[in-house]
Amino acid sequence: MKVIVGLLLLLSVTSRGTAQSVDATASLAARYFGEAEAAARQNVIWKKPLYGPILLVNPQTRTTYANMPDSAGAFTLLEEGVYKGQLPQEVMVANTSVSWQGRLWAVMLWPLPADRDERLNLMLHECFHCIQATLGLPAASPTADHLATINGRIYFLLELQALKAALAKPVNQRSAHLAHALLFRKKRQQLFAATFGNERILEMNEGLAEYTGMLLGRTPAGMLPHLYRVIDSAAAQLSLIRSMAYITGAVYGYLLYEKAPGWTQHVDAGASFPALISKYYKVPLPAKTSIPALNRLAKQYYGDSIIRVEKKKETDRLRQVAVYTRLFTHQPVLNIHLVKMNIVFNPGNLFDLGELGTVYPTAEIKDVWGKLLVTSGGVLMKNWKVITLPVNDSLYVKDNIVQGNGWKIVLNENWRLVKTDSLHALLREMQ
């Protein structure tokens, strides 16, 4: 009889445990939220609290885990202390920040990186974007188009190698390498005066975000190895025209931190890394310098190897320029004017087409006319005002769907496709 009672008790406990099973993803999300909150409490970088509203979103299902309730009460509080729900289709999904239901949320794609340092780096990077406007550091995302050219890339990579050499030295022995890094940067300014200023703008946006994520998210012992990896991987990046700030923000930020830990307390939207390096390291800002002098200096920083590799890449780049130019200027296209646009894209694969604009090989764009998803082939954007899509012979139009090779538009109500001439079409709102 005792055996039977014991068996019934076991079955009862097992059954109850199954009925109240824990959501494993919610438990993991709760752990991640706790880690991020603890790391953010160590914030000595900014005068504002860093940890705030976060959405962890599965991009396929849009199932979302949040660290606080949504204002509409659509999310359900779970036992794990997190909130679960479905993110509406109209909310853009990417590693970014979005305004939703009266709050600015840091959004991250699920699953997050398994590596703790990578995960916290990402989470705190996106949390920074939610507070940056309150710090007087408005978001801005131009492209440094000159970093697509051979000379732009060469002088950028030389700058990084000089910075790597500086990192390897004690703080009080870095001046010479830092001066050389600023010389390589100055040469880019001389060569590309029209677009060079976008480097600084990007660094005061994505650069500061990446520095924040790195400094608070990574262990002190892993900081330098991480920075060395970041620098060494730069040459392999297909595009640097926007991703450059993720590199220089972390590197310059850490160099400044080791000299003056509170340097960010005095930064505003007009700040620049050369000026900050000059201020804290007492390195004079460079004047103009000659190509022969820089060529001699470059040999200290693997210049011969960098130049040889970049010459090969330039041949490939010019070939791709020809392909994209023909695609967007010699074949039928669809032009769409942007009104109130939101965009999600990969900052590491953008392609500069000079005066024609920038090619986004993949992107998701929402505007008053509807939603565009580009999965291959690319969309050309000019000055954030007009986008152009290749049409070719593959255009498919039915009801509110407009679809081409590698892209698809879902039109909002009262919008339609209008052919304007033999090569162009556009979207127009029906009156």
Grade residue 13 by pLDDT with cuts at 50, 70 and 90. Answer: very low
* Burial classification of residue 175, based on how many CB atoms lie within 10 Å of its CB (0-12 exposed, 13-18 middle, 19 or more buried): middle
Rg (CA), the chain: 25
Sheet-wide strand order for 370-374: 342-345, 363-367, 370-374, 407-411, 401-404, 396-398
Report the C-alpha gap between 27 and 40 in whole angstroms.
Answer: 20
Average pLDDT, the chain: 92
Residue 110 has pLDDT above 50, yes or no: yes
Please enumerate in sequence order all residues whose Cβ is within 8 A of that of 269, keeping only pairs 6 or more positions apart, or say none. Answer: 136, 137, 138, 204
The answer to whether the bond into 53 is cis (omega within 30° of 0) is: no
Candidate from 73-87, 106-120, 185-199, 417-431 with smallest mean pLDDT? 417-431
Please enumerate in sequence order all residues whose Cβ is within 8 A of that of 60, keeping only pairs 6 or more positions apart, or say none. Answer: none
Dihedral pair phi/psi, residue 188, rounded to 5°: -60, -40
Q: What is the pLDDT of residue 159?
A: 98
Q: What is the pLDDT of residue 104?
A: 96
| H helix count then E strand count, the chain | 12, 19
Grade residue 154 by pLDDT with cuts at 50, 70 and 90. Answer: very high
Closest CA to 343 of 131, 118, 87, 139: 139
Q: DSSP assignment, residue 67?
A: S
* Over residues 31-56, mean pLDDT: 97
Q: What is the pLDDT of residue 22?
A: 66
Grade residue 429 by pLDDT with cuts at 50, 70 and 90. Answer: confident
What are the tens digits of pLDDT across the range 127-148?
999 999 999 999 998 999 999 9
Q: Are 358 and 380 in contact (CB under 8 A)?
A: yes
Q: Is the dihedral of CA 201, 204, 206, 210 positive or negative?
A: positive
Sheet-wide strand order for 386-390: 351-352, 358-360, 379-382, 386-390, 333-337, 424-429, 415-419
H or E element, residue 100: strand 96-100
Q: What is the pLDDT of residue 431?
A: 57
Residue 5 has pLDDT above 60, yes or no: no
Quote the percentage of the chain above a pLDDT of 70.
94
Residue 124 has pLDDT above 50, yes or no: yes
Residue 209 has pLDDT above 80, yes or no: yes
Candidate from 223-232, 283-292, 419-428 with smallest mean pLDDT? 419-428
Report the C-alpha gap between 416 and 11 in whole angstroms.
Answer: 62
Closest CA to 178 of 249, 251, 227, 233: 251
Grade residue 288 by pLDDT with cuts at 50, 70 and 90. Answer: confident
* Over residues 269-291, mean pLDDT: 94
Which segments within 277-391 are labelled E, that is strand?
333-337, 342-345, 351-352, 358-360, 363-367, 370-374, 379-382, 386-390
Residue 15 has pLDDT above 70, yes or no: no
Grade residue 394 by pLDDT with cuts at 50, 70 and 90. Answer: confident
Residue 2 has pLDDT above 80, yes or no: no
Please enumerate in sequence order all residues whose Cβ is within 8 A of that of 375, keeping only pairs 6 or more positions apart, or say none. Answer: 362, 406, 407
Closest CA to 120 of 51, 216, 207, 198: 216
Candidate from 99-103, 291-295, 312-316 with smallest mean pLDDT? 291-295
Q: DSSP assignment, residue 336?
A: E
CA angle 277–146–381, rounded 5-degree value? 120
Q: What is the pLDDT of residue 287?
A: 87
Q: What is the pLDDT of residue 264?
A: 98
Which segments within 269-322 are labelled E, that is strand?
none
Q: Are 111 and 163 in contact (CB under 8 A)?
A: no
Candidate from 228-232, 287-291, 348-352, 398-402 with smallest mean pLDDT? 287-291
* Burial classification of residue 227, based on how many CB atoms lie within 10 Å of its CB (0-12 exposed, 13-18 middle, 19 or more buried): buried
What are the tens digits of pLDDT across the range 310-346?
999 999 999 999 999 999 999 999 999 999 999 999 9
Grade residue 24 by pLDDT with cuts at 50, 70 and 90. Answer: very high
Dihedral pair phi/psi, residue 419, rounded to 5°: -85, 130
Q: Are 207 and 267 in contact (CB under 8 A)?
A: no
Residue 16 has pLDDT above 50, yes or no: no
Closest CA to 335 of 361, 357, 362, 319: 357
Q: What is the pLDDT of residue 253?
A: 98
